[in-house]
């Protein structure tokens, strides 16, 4: 299993440009999450999904959009990039079995710079 | 959602046990305590988690107080490769296991 994969690893955007950060998992996990991490800070939840077609906002959703059309993929869309979105973005996934939710598994991250 | 409090940094001598504390005084009955670590800017790595009882795996031990308001992660024989930021998180399947990260503890393992 590849686990959680993210592309691209690095990206530089100009202000106002758009892009999609890709995230895929091959563990058949129901739950997927997007976080951002600013320098010296902990991760903050942007959006999450509990299954295909179901998404919801986290702590810092403004400026982002998500979709979940399949179990495997959970792309994050930036429509009008701003310098405040310069950050490292992590995708994660976890499963739910019965009444328990498994721990989260994280991808390697995408480092985004907006100039 | 329960929040956690951790010291910003700790030092540990190589080969000695590292004991990392965490306060989670508002934890609710169905919330688990998770520990992750992050080396440089890599993705967070799972270490261990528990609900009430103490837990041990090949990486670490987790000691949870009886009232569940605090816990301690123990790395029994710290190595230089254990230098990282350690995050204590509480999460519940009732809340889709969403994680709320604090700033963590930077553990510096010194030769």
- Check residue B41 and give its pLDDT: 82
pLDDT tens, position by position, A7-56: 999 999 999 999 999 999 999 999 999 999 998 888 999 999 999 999 99
B46 contacts on A by Cβ (under 8 Å): 103-105
Q: Which residue has the higher pLDDT, B98 or B26?
A: B26
Bin B41: left if φ > 0, else alpha if -120 < ψ < 50, else beta. alpha
Sign of CA dihedral A55, B34, B50, A5: positive
The arithmetic mean of pLDDT across residues B45-50, rounded, is 92
pLDDT at B16 over 70: yes
CA distance from start to end of chain A = 36
Among chain B, residues having any CB pair with chain A shorter than 8 Å are 34, 41-46, 49, 87, 91-93, 96-104
Candidate from B42, B44, B93 with C-beta closest to A101: B93
Choose among B54, B48, B2, B51: nearest CA to B25.
Answer: B2
Q: Please state, in angstroms and rounded to a whole number, the distance separating the CA atoms of residues A37 and B44.
A: 11
B93 pLDDT exceeds 80?
no
């Amino acid at each position: 299993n590849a686990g959680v994969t993210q592309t691209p690893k690095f990206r530089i955007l100009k202000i106002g440009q758009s892009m999609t950060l890709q995230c895929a998992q091959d563990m058949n996990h129901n739950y997927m999450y997007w976080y951002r991490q600013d320098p010296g800070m902990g991760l903050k939840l942007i959006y999450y999904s509990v299954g295909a077609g179901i998404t919801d906002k986290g702590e810092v959703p403004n400026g982002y959009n998500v979709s979940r059309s399949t179990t495997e993929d959970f792309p994050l869309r930036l429509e009008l990039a701003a310098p405040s979105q310069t950050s490292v973005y992590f995708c994660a996934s976890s499963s739910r079995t019965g009444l328990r939710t498994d721990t989260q598994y994280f991808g390697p991250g995408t480092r985004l710079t907006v100039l | 959602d329960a929040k956690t409090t951790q010291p910003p940094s700790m030092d540990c001598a190589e080969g000695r046990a590292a004991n990392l504390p965490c306060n989670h005084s508002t934890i609710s009955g169905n919330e688990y305590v998770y520990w992750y670590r992050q080396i440089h800017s890599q993705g967070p790595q799972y270490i261990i988690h528990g609900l009430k009882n103490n837990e041990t795996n090949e990486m670490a031990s987790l000691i949870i107080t009886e009232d569940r308001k605090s816990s301690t992660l123990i790395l029994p024989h710290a190595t230089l490769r254990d230098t990282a930021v350690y995050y204590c998180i509480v999460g519940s399947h009732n809340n889709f296991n969403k994680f709320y990260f604090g700033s963590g503890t930077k553990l510096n393992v010194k030769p």
